[in-house]
Amino acid sequence: MTNQPRDTLAEAIGRVAVATSRADLMLRSLIPFLGGPGAGVLADEQASASRLIEWCMKFKNQLYTLDNDLSEEFDRRAEELKRLLAKRNAVIHGLWFQDDGDRLKVSQRRTGKKGYRSEGYSVDEINRLAQDIKNAAWDFSEIGDSVAHSEGVPFPPRRGDVG
Which of residues 61 and 82 earns the better pLDDT score? 82
Q: What is the mean pLDDT of residues 55-71?
A: 80
Q: What is the mean pLDDT of residues 96-121?
A: 67
Average pLDDT, the chain: 78
CB 143 within 8 A of CB 80: no
Average pLDDT score over residue span 84-110: 75
14-50 per-residue burial string, b: 16 or more CB within 10 A, e: under 16: ebbeebbebbbbbbbbbbbbbbeeebeebbeeebebe
pLDDT the model gives residue 131: 95
Give the model's pLDDT for residue 161.
47
| pLDDT greater at residue 65 or residue 158 | 65
**Residue 34 banded pLDDT, cuts 50, 70, 90:** confident
Share of the chain above pLDDT 70, in %: 76
pLDDT at res. 9: 82
- Give the mean pLDDT of 87-91: 87
- pLDDT value for 128: 95
Cα(52)–Cα(18) distance, rounded to whole angstroms? 17
Q: Is the pLDDT of residue 113 over 90?
A: no
Going by the DSSP 8-state scheme, the letter that residue 41 receives in this structure is G
* Mean pLDDT of the 51-70 span: 81
- Bridge partner list, 98: 104
Q: Which residue has the higher pLDDT, 79 or 109?
A: 79
User: What pTM value is reported for the model?
Assistant: 0.77
Average pLDDT (94-112) is 66
Q: Name the packing angle between helices 49-59 and 68-93 (round to 10°).
A: 170
- In the predicted structure, residue 109 carries a pLDDT above the cut 60: no
Dist CA 91 CA 78 (whole Å): 20
Crossing angle, helix 68-93 and helix 6-35, to 10 degrees? 150
